Amino acid sequence: MNTEKTGFNTKLIHAGAIDDRFGSATVPIYQTSTFSFESAEYGAQCFTGERDGFIYTRIANPTIKALEQQIAVLENGYGAIAVSSGMAAVTTIYLALMSSGDHIVSTDAIYGPSRNVMEKQFSRFGFQSTYLDTTDIEAVKKAIRPNTKILYIETPSNPTMSVSDLKACAEIAHANNILLVVDNTFSSPYLQKPIDFGADIVFHSMTKFINGHADIVAGVIITKEQSIYTQLRNMMISLGCNMDPHQAYMVIRGLKTLAIRIDRAQENAAKVADFLEAHPKVAWVKYPGLKSHPQYEVSKKQMSGSGSMISFGLKSGFTGAKTLMNSVRLALLAVSLGGVETLIQHPASMTHSKVSPEDKLKSGITDDLIRFAVGIEDAADIIADLEQGLEKV
């Protein structure tokens, strides 16, 4: 059906769906590496682009295309490129848009490997980078150089939950003729649509909320314009970091319940954040839905909900954090987020362990920081679990 004028929930169920000749209610899995051509002429025309028939799954595949069309609609973008993981999205963007001698300005507290690959690996190719607190708009303006090609922000950021102002960042990027890239993993298009605020490229680790069931690793890049879409798609095809058709089917399946999963998880998260903020052993809590969050007002302008990610610290620091992580019974002690189950982890020694101690300190990834990904269990049970764990601290 045409979902152009429908609401978000209808788009989650019907946008991008393909018709098949048997009237399947779900998108079929085209588990094939290659597609036969009806004639030699047809095959040649697929290669010149005169026809948009399918050639080979690394280039395009009907199941993957259905997912890409749906995500592009959900993010209000021109087109989407599904990739094998969130990190495949990050590296495809860096490699497609940067050349030797180019510079990127980025949020400092981003997912550790997204920063690490730039500083430790792509610096070998002459890529230059500046990592800073992108909630400080004046500092962002000052960091732009004549060779800057990308302003890259993650908002809310992993794991500090800082919120960068999308509109202000888009204005800076466009005044300097550079692209604004946004990692929208923590919000999903249900809570935040960066293209509406001026972003040129949005991407996700679909391993998280979009798939939502902790059973798939996947990523996607969405662009506002066709020219950048083509540039990124060509890089994805060359790198060979395409998605697999079965993986695409699983994501399409998980995506249908995105809104109801997030509604439930963030309802729980608000209760957990209030509980933590009132607890005598808790030193601080950072959740965009709390009035105490430093960018509470910015988050209200650009997010339609506060999500289900919380970071907090205990008065007893890392020692207390370890005791709590070893005491919880409902929450899984595991990295990742955005699934239906509640997870707890310690970024400084886990997801962000490869960031240098100085950079961790500068970007607020302190030793006491605990990251809590709230799931869709009963809020009372999640809170009771934290309560019994905190008793042991």
Residue 207 interacting with ligand PLP (CB under 6 A): yes
Rounded CA-CA distance 189/259 in Å is 10
- CA-CA-CA-CA torsion for 21, 27, 29, 32, nearest 10 degrees? 60
| List 68, 102, 183, 200, residue binding ligand PLP (CB under 6 A) | 183
Is position 58 annotated as part of the catalytic site?
Answer: yes
Residue 92 beta carbon to ligand PLP: minimum distance, rounded to whole angstroms:
12
| List 91, 114, 128, 223, residue binding ligand PLP (CB under 6 A) | 114
What residue type is assigned to position 286 of the chain?
Answer: K
For residue 368, the 8-state DSSP code is: T
| List 111, 127, 190, 372, residue binding ligand PLP (CB under 6 A) | 111
Catalytic residue among 115, 149, 208, 264: 208
Catalytic residue among 102, 108, 165, 183: 183
Coil vs helix vs strand at 203: strand
Residue nearest to ligand PLP (CB): 86
Residue 154 interacting with ligand PLP (CB under 6 A): yes
111's tokens: 């997912």
Residue 185 interacting with ligand PLP (CB under 6 A): yes
Q: Residue 334 CA to chain centroid, in angstroms? A: 18
Residue 142 beta carbon to ligand PLP: minimum distance, rounded to whole angstroms:
25
Rounded CA-CA distance 8/163 in Å is 24
User: Of 290, 296, 242, 301, nearest to 266 (Cα)?
Assistant: 290
Judged by CB under 6 A, which stretch of 84-92, 124-132, 291-299, 365-373 contacts ligand PLP? 84-92
Residue 113 beta carbon to ligand PLP: minimum distance, rounded to whole angstroms:
7
CB 236 within 8 A of CB 242: yes
The smaller minimum CB distance to ligand PLP, of residues 17 and 340, is found at 340
Residue 160 interacting with ligand PLP (CB under 6 A): no
Half-sphere exposure of 331 (CA within 13 A, CB side): 30
Helices (H), the chain: 8-14, 40-48, 62-74, 86-97, 112-116, 137-143, 166-175, 188-191, 226-239, 245-255, 258-278, 296-302, 317-327, 357-362, 379-391
Could you give the angle at the alpha carbon of 364 between the alpha carbons of 189 and 321, nearest 5°? 95
User: Of 2, 11, 82, nearest to 255 (Cα)?
Assistant: 11
User: Could you give phi then psi for residue 120, rounded to 5 degrees?
Assistant: -95, -25
CB 245 within 8 A of CB 57: yes
**Per-residue binder mask for ligand PLP (CB under 6 A), 314-343, x = binder:** ----------------------x-------
Residue 25 beta carbon to ligand PLP: minimum distance, rounded to whole angstroms:
28
Residue 106 beta carbon to ligand PLP: minimum distance, rounded to whole angstroms:
12
Is position 315 annotated as part of the catalytic site?
Answer: no
The smaller minimum CB distance to ligand PLP, of residues 16 and 219, is found at 219
| List 77, 86, 254, 305, residue binding ligand PLP (CB under 6 A) | 86
Distances (CA, A) of 176 to 106, 137, 148, 179, 203: 15, 14, 9, 9, 22
User: Of 131, 179, 180, 186, nearest to 163 (Cα)?
Assistant: 186
Residue 156 interacting with ligand PLP (CB under 6 A): no
| List 217, 340, 384, 393, residue binding ligand PLP (CB under 6 A) | 217
| List 205, 247, 311, 363, residue binding ligand PLP (CB under 6 A) | 205
Is position 141 annotated as part of the catalytic site?
Answer: no
| Count of residues that bind ligand PLP according to CB under 6 A | 15
The smaller minimum CB distance to ligand PLP, of residues 117 and 168, is found at 117
User: Could you give phi then psi for residue 299, rounded to 5 degrees?
Assistant: -60, -35
Looking at the annotation, which residues are catalytic? 58, 111, 183, 208
- Residues in contact with ligand PLP by the rule CB under 6 A: 85-87, 111, 114, 154, 158, 183, 185-186, 205, 207, 217, 219, 336
